[in-house]
Structure formats: structure tokens, C-alpha cells
């Protein structure tokens, strides 16, 4: 395993992050998630591979993911050995503190997450999305206050327009409040819109990218059109505005990944992950593992160096699209 600083902060993280959206109660809306017993091999493998960065959110299985992660921290490792990240914003219940980024929501949701995680603090607390209904000053001051209260060590954000992120950073800086050290954004061979504005902003601000869905929801890990796994069969093909998430043109990208993987004698996932890891602004892609090879492939990608010709081939077929913030 390799380790790096999250952006220019002092926080040291493994270069592969364990995404914990895969853990929860399979009897709820997402039947592909893993309960405690099914998740045990994944947590044990993560510890054995040296993956010390674990990312969850309050909304994942409506809090069940946080509960499972909290129990895993006690069973399979030590709290001080893990950089623990969670998020807020999504609706958890009815009422003024159940969703969004108001002061009431921030104060209520951090305490609820700490109870479910059974810990005194979160290493990285992230806003899951931008809240247009709450003044930025209110959000950033509330986040600063929970840092100063010792409940949170660092702050991060996720999936928003670059101007929104820049505004929040500016407000924090101008008031002397805690700034974000990370951006959890969608980035893969078939979702590269962050390269336009966000990545330049992150580099300028010293913020580390921790991409979600670095394998394009699994699209770039199997031959084009194959949706043989339960999760792949359930993956959305359109966003909340019924716009296509994946384009027919993505086939050229997937086929390039397949050709290079076959020539190298490695999995398609390793090739696609190696491409994400080569971006200098990327600190740690987030891997939502449900099978042993998911984490193994991600870690193996750290040792796979793509040639200039291979990178050009992987990038040649990309067609721009509107970012999806769902």
C-alpha cells in the first residue's frame, strides 16, 4: 500500500479508500449491500492490504452503514489506525434538522453519526452536496464550530459546481474558519468533467480529490454491455432528470480498456484504476467493495504504470456530458 497526504493537509491516508456504501441492511431498498457477517471478509481484507481510509455517509442504508462500520472498527482494527470519513446533507428524517446544511442539521447530524459509529470524533466530515437553501456563511461557521468542539478533525465536500466550492472556501478563509481539505467528486474514464474547472481549482487550493465511482459504476471493468452482476443490473442509466448517465460513445473507451488489459495480462479494473490514480490531484479513489477482487485489483493498480500511448488510447474516445450530482 502507498500513503499520501490529503491535498496539502497533514492528514495521511492510504491511496485506496474503502467505500462503505456497500454495507447495510439488504432487506431495505438496496438488496446488493452486505450485512455485518457478509462484510467481515471485506473489512479484514482492507486491514490486511493496509487500506486505512474508510468512507461512509449517514444516508447509506439510512444509518446502517455507519453502524456496521463502527462495529468493524472495534472488531478488526483500532480506531487510531483508521481515517474515518462520513457525510451529511441527504434527508434522514422529517423535521428541520433532518436534511440539508443548516446549523441545526449540522449539529444534529454529526451527533447522530457519532452515535452510530460509536466514536468520539470523525476524521473527515463531508458535505454530501451543496445546499442552495442555506446561507454559505451559516454552513461554514457551523462546520467550523464542530471542528473546534473536537467532534471533527478535517472537513471535506462532495459533488458540486466549482463556483459553489470556491464560494464556500472563500467564505471560510475570509472569516478564519476551517476550510475543506478534500473534494469527493465523480471521476473515471467515462466521467471526466471535473477536469474542466474543478481539478484546476483543487490544485490551486491544495485540496485532494477522493473520486467516487472511479470505475464508472463497473462499466469499464467488463466488456461493453455486460451487466451480469446484481448491482450492475440495478445501476441507473439515467439521472434524476432522465438524462443518460452513460453514452453509446463510452463503448470506445471500454473497448480500449479491454484491449490494454488483455495485452498487459491484467484485469480491466486495474487498467481503469491506474488511469485515475495517475492524475496528480487525485489522492485516493474510493472503492465500494463487495467481492475480494475489488480491493485486490484496486491495490494492484498502484503498481501499474501506463505508457503515454496507452493513456492516449484510453482518453481518445471520451465524449463530454453534463455532470451528474445525484
Is 60 catalytic? The answer is: yes
Tell me if 56 sits within 8 A of 66, measured CB to CB: yes
- For residue 176, the 8-state DSSP code is T
Backbone angles phi, psi at 311, to 5 degrees: -65, -40
Question: How many other CB atoms are there within 10 angstroms of residue 62's CB atom?
Answer: 16
From the candidates 60, 125, 187, 318, which is the catalytic residue? 60
Tell which residue, 178, 176, 177, 184, has the closest CA to residue 202: 184
Q: What is the rounded distance in angstroms from the CA atom of residue 121 to the CA atom of residue 141?
A: 18
DSSP 100-162: SSSHHHHHHHHHHHHHHHT-S-EEEEEESS--TTS-HHHHHHHHHHHHHTTSEEEEEEES--H
Report the catalytic residues.
Answer: 60
Amino acid at each position: 500500500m502507498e500513503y499520501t497526504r490529503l491535498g496539502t493537509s497533514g492528514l495521511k491516508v492510504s491511496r485506496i479508500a474503502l467505500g462503505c456504501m456497500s454495507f447495510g441492511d439488504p432487506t431495505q431498498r438496496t438488496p446488493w449491500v452486505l450485512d455485518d457477517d457478509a462484510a467481515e471478509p471485506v473489512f479484514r481484507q482492507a486491514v490486511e492490504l493496509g487500506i486505512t481510509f474508510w468512507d461512509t455517509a449517514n444516508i447509506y442504508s439510512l444509518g446502517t452503514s455507519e453502524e456496521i462500520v463502527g462495529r468493524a472498527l472495534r472488531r478488526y482494527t483500532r480506531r487510531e489506525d483508521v481515517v474515518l470519513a462520513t457525510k451529511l446533507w441527504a434527508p434522514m428524517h422529517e423535521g428541520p434538522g433532518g436534511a440539508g446544511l443548516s446549523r441545526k442539521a449540522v449539529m444534529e447530524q454529526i451527533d447522530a453519526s457519532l452515535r452510530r459509529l460509536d466514536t468520539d470524533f470523525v476524521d473527515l466530515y463531508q458535505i454530501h452536496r451543496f445546499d442552495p437553501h442555506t446561507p454559505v456563511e451559516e454552513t461554514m461557521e457551523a462546520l467550523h464550530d464542530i471542528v473546534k468542539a473536537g467532534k471533527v478533525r478535517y472537513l471535506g465536500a462532495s459533488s458540486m459546481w466549482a463556483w459553489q466550492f470556491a464560494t464556500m472556501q472563500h467564505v471560510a478563509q475570509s472569516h478564519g474558519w476551517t476550510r475543506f481539505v478534500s473534494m469527493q467528486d465523480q471521476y473515471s474514464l467515462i466521467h471526466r468533467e471535473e477536469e474542466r474547472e474543478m481539478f484546476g481549482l483543487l490544485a490551486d487550493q491544495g485540496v485532494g480529490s477522493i473520486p467516487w465511482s472511479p470505475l464508472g459504476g463497473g462499466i469499464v471493468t467488463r466488456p461493453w454491455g455486460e451487466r451480469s452482476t446484481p448491482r450492475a443490473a440495478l445501476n441507473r442509466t439515467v439521472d434524476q432528470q432522465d438524462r443518460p448517465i452513460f453514452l453509446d460513445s463510452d463503448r470506445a473507451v471500454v473497448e480500449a480498456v479491454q484491449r490494454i488489459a488483455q495485452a498487459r495480462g491484467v484485469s480491466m479494473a486495474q487498467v481503469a484504476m491506474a488511469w485515475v490514480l495517475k492524475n496528480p490531484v487525485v489522492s485516493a479513489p474510493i472503492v465500494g467493495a463487495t467481492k475480494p477482487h475489488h480491493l485486490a485489483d484496486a491495490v494492484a493498480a498502484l503498481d501499474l504504470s501506463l505508457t503515454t500511448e496507452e493513456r492516449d488510447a484510453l482518453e481518445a474516445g471520451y465524449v463530454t456530458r453534463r455532470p451528474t450530482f445525484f
